[in-house]
Structure 1
Amino acid sequence: MTPPTLPQPLRRAGRRRTLLGAALAVALTASLAACSSDGSPAPSSGTASAAGPVTLEFWTWSLKGSDPAAKAIVDKYHQLNPNVTVKLSEVGGTTETASKLLAADQAGDTPDVVQIEYRGLPALVVAGAAKDITADVAGVKANVDANIWAQTTFNNQVYGVPQDIGPMVLTYRKDLFDKFGVQVPTTWEEYAKAAEQIHKKDPDAYIASFAANQLEFFAAHAAQAGAQWWSTDGSAWKVGIGSEASLKTADFWQDLVQRDLVKVEPLLTPEWNAQVNNGKILSWAAAAWAPSVIYSVAPDTAGKWESAPLPQWTKGQAAVPFLGGSTYLVPAKSKHAKEAAAFAAWLGASDEGSKLLLGLDLFPGANAGRQATLTHEPPKLMPQQKDFYQVTDQVIKNTTIPVTWGPNVNVAQTAFGDALNKAALDKSSFRAVYQATQQAVVADLQKSGYTVTQ
C-alpha cells in the first residue's frame, strides 16, 4: 500500500507564543516517501558517545523502577553504554508532566528525556521546551513507518521518538455478543443496531459507556467522518470542531444517549469497573492498549473478550486514526542532550529497544517491535485470540487518517468534557457543546497571536 502524504501540524514558534501581526501557523506538508527506507542513512546502533560518566534523568510513567521489565531495559542500555546511567523518575500523565516540564524549563533545570503523549507535544514545541532532534534520529529514521513519525514531526523537524502507538480496535465481550446473537459491527450504523439488540436482551446491559471526557476519542471519531479538529490552511490554523462532519458524530452519540443505548459513565470509575466485571458494559472502542486496561480492572473476565477492527462510517473503508500513544522528547535545556537523544532513539526506534518495550505491555511504534508482536502471546484478556496482533497490525497498515493536534488542546479539553457530560445527563444539545468548544479554541488561538480561518 502506498501511504498518503500527511499534513504536519505546526511550525515551531519559539519561546513566545504571541507575535502580534504575524501568522504563526504555516501549512506543513511532508511527503512520506521522504521517510521511506530508500536513501535513508544506515540505522544507528543507538550507542551514546559520552566523554565521561553521564546520568540521564528520565521522566516516564511506562517504565516503573519496580517493574522487572523496565529494569531489564535500563540494565541493557547500561551494558551497551557503561558511561551512561539512566535514572527513572515516575511522573503522572501528560497534563501533569507537561506542567512540570514547563516549570523546569523556566527554571533552567530540566530532565533529559521525557515521555509525553502525542497530543501534548505540539504545545511543548510551541513553548520552545522540546529540542529538535532531527539529526540525532537520522540513523534510525527507516526503523519506524512514516505515518508514525508524522505524530512527532512538525515542519519537517523531529521533536520526539515514538514509543508506542494506538491502532484503534473494538474490544468486546465475545461470549455475551454470542449469547445475545449480536454480530460484531463493522460500521457505526451496525454499532447502533447492536446497541439496540444488547439493551433489548438485557435492559441493564449496554454496548459501551459514554465517557464525555475522552477528548481524543471524539476527535478520532470525527476524523473518521472526515473532520479535522485542528489543521493548517496556508499561513493559518483552521478549527473544525464545529464543522458539519464533526457535528455528524455529535448527532450519532446524542441519539444513542437519548435512547439510553449507552451508559453515561466515565471510564475506570468504581462503577464502570463493576459494570465491566458484571457483564453490563460489553465493549470499548479504543486502541490496542484497551485489553491491558480492562484486564487490570476485570482479570476474572479473561478469555471472554476479543478485539476486532473499529467500525467505519462507510462499509469497506478500512481507515482509522491512532488513539493515544507516547513519545520520548529531549527538553531544549537538557544538559546531556546528545546522550539523551541517543537513548531515546535506542529505546523507541532501535530493533533491540522496541522489542524490549513489548515487555511493558506496550504496542511498540518501531517496525521491529511491531514485527515481534506477530509472534507474541496475545494480551492476557484474550489468551484464546491468537490472531490479535495480526488484526492490529492490519489496522496499522490501514491507519491513513492523520489527526493533527493544535497548540491549545488543553483549552478544548476544558471547554468540552464537563459540558458534554452535562449535556448527556440533561439530554441537551451535543451540537451546542461542539460549537461552543469551537468558539473557545478559535478565540484562544487568536488571543495567542495566531491567524485562524473558518
Structure 2
Amino acid sequence: MSQHSRRLLRGFGLVCALALAATACGGSDDDSGQKKIGAADLQAALKKGGTVTVWAWEPTLKQVAADFEKKYPEVDIELVNAGTGNDQYKGLQNAISAKKGVPDVAQLEYYALGQYALTKEITDLTPYGAGKLEGSYSPGPWNSVKFDDGIYGLPMDSGPMALFYNKKVFDKHGIAVPTTWDEYVEAGRKLHKADPKAYITSDVGDAGLTTSLLWQAGSHPYKVDGTEVGIDFTDAGAKKYTATWQKLIDEKLLSPIAGWSDDWYKGLGDGTIATLPIGAWMPANFASGVKDAAGDWRVAPLPQWEKGKSASSENGGSSLAVPALGKNKELAYAFVEYANSGPGVQTRIKNGAFPATAKDLNSQAFQDTEFPYFGGQKANKIFADSAKGVPAGWKYLPYQVYANSIFNDTVGKAYVSGATLPEGLKAWRDKSLDYGQKQGFTVQK
C-alpha cells in the first residue's frame, strides 16, 4: 500500500489509519484475524456471562434480547437506541475515536458496512464460524456483509423490492399493473392524464432508490478493490435506468412530494401517489401510517427492464456487526448469531421483521401469511421470489454514507432544473471521487 493510501481517512466514519497488519484501528488488541473461536469458547463465555451493549434502532430486538437473557441468565443485554442511521453512525464514530463507550454490537445498514470493514473498525467474524452460515441467507444480504475474504456482520433483515400499487386507483382508471418499466411509464402517463393531481409515484431524488434500480438493471457502477475505487454510471444497465426515469422526470409524472413526509403519507392514503417501488419491509409502514387506505393497496413483482425477466434488487436492510474495540467479542458474536441466524429470527418475524434467512423466506408458513391490509394477499410469496432474483456482484463505495449525503446536490438537480440524469450522475461521480481521493483512496478517473 502506498504512503498516500495510508493517510488518515478523515471522512464520515473513516478516521482510522489504514494499516498493513490485520489488526483493528485505534490500538485494539483484537486478534480475530488469527485466532479461531470455537463453539466451546462461545459456550464458556455464555456460562461465565457479562454485559453486552447493543446499539440498534430495530424494535424487534427488544424481545430477542429478553429471550436471550432468559436462555443465558448470566448475560445481560443492554439494548441502546443511539438514533437511527446517520445519527447512530456519528455516535459510533465518536466513541471509536475516543476509544471509550464503544458498543459490543452495532446495527449497520448494508451500504454503511463497508467503511467500517475497510478500516478494521469492526471484527471479521470468520474466525467465529460465521462462514458456515453462508447458505443460510439469501444472496443479496450475504454479499453485502462480505468484504475481501472477511465476513463483517450477519444479515439482520433484507429489502427485496416489489411494486406496491393502489388497486382502487388502478381499477378506477382502467390501468393494468405494469410488468416492465416501459409499461410503468405508460401507466404514469395514463394516470396523470386521467387525474392531473395523481402521480405514478413520488420521487424528488433518492439515492437509495436510484442505486437499487441501477442494481436491478444489471449496472455495476462501483468498483472497489481495497483502497482503490472507481465509479461509472455509463454502463448498459445505467443507460436503461436513465433513459426510462428521464421520461418520468421530463413529462412531470413524478409527485414532487418528498418521501416520508406527512404529505407523502397523505398522498399514499388519498391515491394521488399510486405506486411505490420499495423494499419488502414497507408493509408495516403502510399499516401504521396509511391506515385509511387499508384494502386499497396490493403488491406486485417489480417491473422489469427486459420483458420476461425476473431480476430484482435490494432496497434497505441492516446487519449486526461487532466493533473491534468492543470488550466482549465472544458474547457479542453469540448474541448476533442468536438474533440473526438462531431462534431470534422467528421472534423478529412474528413481530413484523422481514428476514434475510433463506429457510424462513421459503417456508410455507411465511409465504402463506395473509396481509389484511392488502386485501388478504399473500404478499410474502412475492417478496421471497424477489429475494431470489437479486443480481450478484453489487458493491457500495467504502464511503457510501458520504456519497449518499451529496446525492441531492448532484443528481437531485435533474429533478428540479434543466440538468439531465446522466449529467447529474456524472456530477455525483466526480464529487464522490474527489472526496475519495482527498481521504486517501486511489481513484480511477
TM-score (norm 2): 0.86
- Show CA shifts across 1:186-233 (max 9, x none): 111000001011111211111101131x21210121223332221247
Residue 129 (structure 1) aligned to one of 114, 121, 125:
121
Letter in 1 for 2:337: A
Q: Please list, as runs of the form range in 1=range in 2, the aligned pairs for 1:391-406 lying within 5 A after superposition.
A: 391-406=382-397
Q: Please list, as runs of the form range in 1=range in 2, the aligned pairs for 1:370-389 lying within 5 A after superposition.
A: 370-372=361-363, 374-375=366-367, 377-386=369-378, 388-389=379-380
Corresponding position of 2:192: 199
Shift of 1:401: 4.0
Letter in 2 for 1:160: G
Corresponding position of 2:327: 335
Letter in 2 for 1:100: G
- Take 1:219 and 1:48, find their aligned partners in 2: how far apart are those partners? 43
Question: More displaced, 161-170 or 427-436?
Answer: 427-436
Corresponding position of 1:180: 173
Corresponding position of 1:62: 58
**Residue 94 of structure 1 pairs with residue 85 of structure 2:** yes
**Residue 298 of structure 1 pairs with residue 290 of structure 2:** yes
Shift of 1:438: 0.8
- Take 2:260 and 2:441, find their aligned partners in 1: how far apart are those partners? 37
- Take 2:258 and 2:272, find their aligned partners in 1: how far apart are those partners? 14
**Residue 344 of structure 1 pairs with residue 336 of structure 2:** yes
Q: Please list, as runs of the form range in 1=range in 2, the aligned pairs for 1:277-292 lying within 5 A after superposition.
A: 277-292=269-284
Letter in 1 for 2:274: L
- Show CA shifts across 1:157-203 (max 9, x none): 11001000011100001121122111111111000001011111211
Task: List runs of 5+ in structure 1 lacking aligned partners.
Answer: 1-12, 25-41, 64-68
Question: More displaced, 290-299 or 168-177?
Answer: 290-299
**Residue 49 of structure 1 pairs with residue 42 of structure 2:** no
Question: More displaced, 119-128 or 443-452?
Answer: 443-452
- Take 2:362 and 2:188, find their aligned partners in 1: how far apart are those partners? 35
- Show CA shifts across 1:295-317 (max 9, x none): 22211111111111111110112
Corresponding position of 1:37: none
- Show CA shifts across 1:221-271 (max 9, x none): 122333222124798422123546425423422321221211122101122
SS at structure 2 position matched to 1:428 = coil
Paired residue total: 416
Residue 238 (structure 1) aligned to one of 230, 233, 253:
230
Corresponding position of 1:154: 147
TM-score (norm 1): 0.84
- Show CA shifts across 1:71-116 (max 9, x none): 4322211122111111111132221222211111122220111111
Shift of 1:46: 8.2
- Take 2:170 and 2:181, find their aligned partners in 1: how far apart are those partners? 16
Corresponding position of 1:79: 70
Residue 118 (structure 1) aligned to one of 87, 92, 110:
110
Q: Is the 8 A contact 2:106 2:323 kept in 1?
A: yes
- Take 2:141 and 2:414, find their aligned partners in 1: how far apart are those partners? 35
Shift of 1:418: 3.6
The 1:165–1:275 alpha-carbon spacing in structure 2 relative to 1, beyond 3 Å, is same
Corresponding position of 1:168: 161
Identity among equivalent pairs (%): 27
The 1:304–1:227 alpha-carbon spacing in structure 2 relative to 1, beyond 3 Å, is same
Q: Is the 8 A contact 2:138 2:388 kept in 1?
A: no
- Show CA shifts across 1:348-367 (max 9, x none): 012x2211111332111123
Question: More displaced, 353-362 or 364-373?
Answer: 364-373
Letter in 2 for 1:263: S
CA RMSD of superposed structures (Å)? 2.9
Q: Is the 8 A contact 2:139 2:388 kept in 1?
A: no
Corresponding position of 1:321: 313
- Take 2:132 and 2:68, find their aligned partners in 1: how far apart are those partners? 18
- Take 1:90 and 1:74, find their aligned partners in 2: how far apart are those partners? 13
Residue 450 (structure 1) aligned to one of 437, 441, 445:
441
The 1:275–1:258 alpha-carbon spacing in structure 2 relative to 1, beyond 3 Å, is same
- Take 2:187 and 2:40, find their aligned partners in 1: how far apart are those partners? 49
Shift of 1:285: 0.3
Question: More displaced, 369-378 or 246-255?
Answer: 369-378
- Take 1:320 and 1:249, find their aligned partners in 2: how far apart are those partners? 14
Residue 427 (structure 2) aligned to one of 436, 439, 445:
436
Letter in 1 for 2:272: K
- Show CA shifts across 1:386-440 (max 9, x none): 2x11111111112224431111213322332244334312343222211111111
- Take 1:236 and 1:333, find their aligned partners in 2: how far apart are those partners? 26
Q: Is the 8 A contact 2:140 2:387 kept in 1?
A: no
Q: Is the 8 A contact 2:188 2:253 kept in 1?
A: yes
Q: Is the 8 A contact 2:407 2:428 kept in 1?
A: yes
Shift of 1:16: 4.6
Task: List runs of 5+ in structure 2 lacking aligned partners.
Answer: 21-37
Q: Is the 8 A contact 1:15 1:126 kept in 2?
A: no
Q: Is the 8 A contact 1:56 1:113 kept in 2?
A: yes
The 1:265–1:244 alpha-carbon spacing in structure 2 relative to 1, beyond 3 Å, is farther
Q: Is the 8 A contact 1:415 1:436 kept in 2?
A: no
- Take 2:47 and 2:19, find their aligned partners in 1: how far apart are those partners? 43
- Take 1:15 and 1:338, find their aligned partners in 2: how far apart are those partners? 32
The 1:433–1:163 alpha-carbon spacing in structure 2 relative to 1, beyond 3 Å, is same
- Take 2:45 and 2:120, find their aligned partners in 1: how far apart are those partners? 26
**Residue 210 of structure 1 pairs with residue 203 of structure 2:** yes
The 1:281–1:384 alpha-carbon spacing in structure 2 relative to 1, beyond 3 Å, is same
Corresponding position of 1:35: none
